[in-house]
Each structure stands twice: as structure tokens, then as C-alpha cells.
Amino acid sequence: MNRATRRVVPLLPLLPLVLAGCSTAPVSFQGVAPPGLETAYQCAVAQLNLMDYTIEDGNLEAGFVRGRRQTSGVVQELFTGAAHHDVLTASVFDNPATGNTHIRVVASRVADHDIGLLPGLDDDEEQGENRLGPSDSGKADAQRLLTNCGVVATTGGPAPQ
């Protein structure tokens, strides 16, 4: 084994952790809520508002609500050319087989490149949004929403695409 290989091999077990931190996949948390689809929906809306998320979309009939909260400051936006936002999407649904009401919250993050704070410094005309992996605060907010809406046990993992 040469010198370079001896230095790299011990770091290989850390590779999955590094790659997981770079994932752009949203993360989903879900659990059983107290009965009542409308009650669960109204709770999700209220929790997003209490956590300073701006409601972007949603309705009771469709069973979902989506909120967005800016997480980047002016200095970060000046350097990156993007505003970063946590996005939470809560879905409520009844399981006819069990009669239980469920809440699923998907946490994601986006970088909005339409801010243009320093024109001329970035020659790329990159516009729109880039999906990023969810922030720790976004994941914590998703779990807080579930807890505050009466969900006792949650499960989580990558969100379905």
C-alpha cells in the first residue's frame, strides 16, 4: 500500500456521512394525529404561521399547505447571489383502513437566484430556484409542527419523489 492510499483508506467510512450532508433530497416526517382531517389541516396552517412561514399554497380539499421562510441574511445573499428559504409542505389525509388521520411534513430548502443584489458581478444569468437539502432548522420545524399538532410518534426519511 502506498503512502497516499494509507491516508485515504481510513477516511472511506466517513464518505456516506459527507455525501448525506450534500443531499438535495427533501426529508419527510409523518405520524398519526388526533382524529379530524379539518382539525389537522387547521393545526398545520397555524403552526406554519407561528413559526413565521409565509403560506404559499394549499387548501383543505386538496389536503395540503405549503409555507416558506427566508433563512439567509443580506450578507449571505451578497456573496452567493441567492436568497435561501426553508420550505415545509404539510399533507393531511385519513387512512380508510384504520380510520386514523395522518400528517406528513416534507422539509426542503431552495436557493432563489432572482434577487440580483450586485448586478454585473455575476455574469451568469442564472435565474429561478435550485433545490438544496433541507436545513437542520427546517427538519426541526417539521418535527415541531407534528408534535404541536398532537402527533406522538413520528417516522422520517427521504421524501417520495
Domains with residue ranges and CATH for the chain: 25-150 (3.30.530.20)
pLDDT reported for residue 138: 96
Phi then psi dihedrals of residue 141, to 5 deg: -65, -40
Residue 55 has pLDDT above 70, yes or no: yes
pLDDT reported for residue 148: 96
Give whole-number Cα distances, 133 to 37, 97, 104, 149, in Å: 29, 33, 18, 25
Provide the terminal-to-terminal Cα distance of the chain, rounded to the nearest Å: 42
pLDDT in tens, 101-117: 999 999 999 888 755 54
Can you tell me the distance from the alpha carbon of 64 to that of 22, in angstroms, rounded to the nearest whole number?
27
User: Please, what is the Cα angle at 106 between 83 and 75, to 5 degrees?
Assistant: 15
Cβ–Cβ < 8 Å for 31, 153: yes
Q: In the Cβ-directed half-sphere of 38, how many Cα atoms lie within 13 Å? A: 0
pLDDT in tens, 75-110: 766 666 778 889 999 999 999 999 999 999 999 998
